[in-house]
Amino acid sequence: MRDPVSSTNVLSVGYDEPTETLEVEFSNGSIYQYYNVGSALFQQLMQAPSKGQFLNAYIRNSYPYSRVG
């Protein structure tokens, strides 16, 4: 389940703590799941002033991912 966020590039973000899976829906309609993302990093993402910049800087090229939508 994803929650809407205030961002230009990101529409919604969801996190599953037991599997450490971060799911991100982008404004272009694509949905990605990022794996092995710790809950502390997820909390930092949610508190970041720019979700898109945070994703690019700390998550996008650092964690395995799959496009799911």
**pLDDT at res. 7:** 92
Report, in this order, helix, strand and coil percent for the chain, each rounded to 5.
Answer: 25, 30, 40
Contact assessment for residue 48 and residue 40, using Cβ atoms and an 8 Å cutoff: no
**pLDDT at res. 36:** 98
Q: Please give the backbone phi and psi of residue 40, each rounded to the nearest 5 degrees, phi first.
A: -65, -40
Indicate if the pLDDT at residue 1 is higher than 90: no
pLDDT digits (tens, 9 = 90+) for 17-62: 999 999 999 999 999 999 999 999 999 999 999 999 999 999 999 9
